[in-house]
A and B are shown apart, each in its own frame.
Chain A
Amino acid sequence: MILTPEVLTIIIVNIIFIIFTLIAFIISIKISFQWNRDATTQLQYTLEKQSFLTATIIKYIFIIKIPLFLFFIFTLDKISFILPGAMCGAGVVDATAYGSPLFILKILNLYIFSYWLFLHNEDIKYENQPYTKLKFTLFNIASLLFITELIVEIMMFNAIDTTKIVDCCGTIYSSSATFYISDFFHIGNPILLAIFYSNFLFMISFYLLKKASLFAISNILFIITSIITLIVFFGTYIYEQPFHHCPFCFLQSDYYYIGYFLYTMLFIGTIFGIATGFIPSSNEIKERRYKISLTFNSFYLLSVSLYPILFYILNRVWL
């Protein structure tokens, strides 16, 4: 098992969180099945007391888990230096069969944990706590995903063989690779960019029309189209190399850690955007979420768009 200080930190923090999550899970199951807001029984009063404490514990676990995702990416990048062949985190993800599922699971959890926090925030605003049952039911699912994440994470770090040569990102993210992303290289940049920008225009239209559900859906599509276009098109302008498509290398110091900025913008923008459609809230809060989402998504879009534009202005040629 690979045990760098970063890996140890991630595993220890997650194990501590899992212990608290398991305790919370037991109470959460009781709340999911036995919660009756109108009851004045001993059981209900006990659940009300426990729900307050449990929700507070969950809140702090999830608040820490969100930035911990960035630390996980940083760790992958750090490990790549000791894996022969790996140039960045992409090589580490590809080094074992667990890497890609873990990465997808972590992104999924990032969104689920964020929605739990949104729901909790809404719930505690009202005297009758209308979302308590829903909140704890969501936590039940989230805790199972979190436990799965930890297991897969330990399996991944355990399976990494530092003597085995792994693929570098240039091999993984290329049009000839067998990786699923390679199919997108054949679609063509104009079509991908048209989808990416028109999706953003739809997002603005849905905001103006106040169609929250459609706005949320356009945000889901924005995550997908953003990552695809980042790998296929925009990444090459960040690297200023036509065949370098890696979504990890720009997290390194050579590129001024710009990847952290881009991913943070994208995640904040889409998390708030999806919450607008799926998390119940007052019109005032909804309006605030719309604006936060659009602001961060616009920052992302402008940031990635600036790279090819500046490249063209300076070089009078497209890659």
Chain B
Amino acid sequence: MIELKNIFKIYETNSIEKVTALKDINLSFNEGELIVLKGASGSGKSTILSLIASLSKPTTGEVIVDKKKISKLPDNFASIYRRDNIGFIFQKYNLITTLTVQENILLPLIPLNLNISLAQKKLERVMKMFQIEHKKDSLVKNLSGGEQQRVAIARANVNNPKIIIADEPTANLDKKLSLSFIEIIKKLKSENKTIIIATHDPLFFNLDIVDREITISDGTAIL
């Protein structure tokens, strides 16, 4: 379903300084798989996620999702691909703190121009699923870390994407909240979603729900 072929990613900070983030990465992920990308900070995990989400393009090589070469998509089409296929959970949640819970969750639906009743139905489904219904009118800035994360997960799922990408999702959570996040991931996996998590949190290692663990070290994948 997701293939990364001969991927190199080089960041040019200026004309002299170049950082090679990924070196000849060849990976494939099947539909419904839960994959953990582990490795130290700066190893290239987040770069892989951003390539799969079409947030950036490789320097060479190609990313293929459902037989579509998404690394070759022009920016306007890449946005549509992200909107329709990807749910991204960021380490710092990236919520708009001055908006309410339901306003944050509804944001990805705005470009779809859905009718209000359908949008409402989608909103209620994810709020119920991630148990934040009771906070729907609260401003995000007034929520706890765990609640904010549940809003972020609900927002990532409101459009029912096939692929869920999470970048260091438990980095800001204590153990109890991290375990509750794992429960949420179990729920998402049961819906046959492809889930890719980049983390160096040992809680995710050797979990029974994880199909594969891939170590990323210095821009290369150790399978």
Contacts and interface: CB of A to CB of B under 8 A. Distances in A.
Contacts of B45: none
Given A40-B71, A40-B72, A127 B60 contact: no
Contacts of B5: 40
Nearest to A123: B74
A255 interface: no
Nearest to B61: A40
Contacts of A124: 74, 76
Contacts of B8: 42
B76 A40 contact: no
Interface string B50-75: 00000001111110000000011111
A45 B75 contact: no
Interface in B61-111: 61-62, 71-77
B62 A40 contact: yes
- Counting contact residues on chain B (CB < 8 A from A), the size range is 10 to 19
B74 A49 contact: no
B74 A127 contact: yes
- Counting contact residues on chain A (CB < 8 A from B), the size range is 10 to 19
Contacts of B74: 48, 52, 124, 127, 129
Contacts of A127: 72-74, 77
A52 B60 contact: no
Nearest to B58: A45
Contact of B60 (A37, A40, A129): A40
Contacts of B61: 40
A253 interface: no
B63 to A, nearest CB: 9
Contacts of A48: 57, 72, 74
A46 B109 CA distance: 32
Where chain B touches its partner, the secondary structure class is: mixed
A306 to B, nearest CB: 43
Contact of B57 (A41, A49, A129): A49
Interface in A177-193: none
A45 B76 contact: no
A42 B59 contact: yes
A315 B61 CA distance: 78
A124 B78 CA distance: 12
A48 B72 CA distance: 8
Given A45-B59, A45-B60, A52 B75 contact: yes
A262 to B, nearest CB: 38
Nearest to B81: A127
Contacts of B71: 40, 45
A304 to B, nearest CB: 42
A203 to B, nearest CB: 35
Contacts of A129: 74
Contacts of A49: 57
Interface in A16-54: 37, 40-42, 45, 48-49, 52
A37 B74 CA distance: 11
A49 B5 CA distance: 20
Contacts of B59: 42, 45
Nearest to A46: B59
A37 B6 CA distance: 18
Scoring A37, A45, A52, A127 by chain B CB atoms within 10 A of each residue's CB, the highest score goes to: A127
A42 B58 CA distance: 8
Nearest to B76: A124
15 contacts: A40-B5, A40-B6, A40-B60, A40-B61, A40-B62, A40-B71, A42-B8, A42-B59, A45-B57, A45-B59, A45-B71, A52-B74, A127-B72, A127-B73, A127-B74
Given A40-B5, A127-B77, A129-B74, 16 more contacts: A37-B72, A40-B6, A40-B61, A40-B62, A42-B60, A45-B57, A45-B58, A45-B59, A45-B60, A48-B57, A48-B72, A48-B74, A49-B57, A124-B74, A124-B76, A127-B72
Pick the 3 closest A-B CB pairs, nearest first. Answer: A40-B62, A127-B77, A42-B60
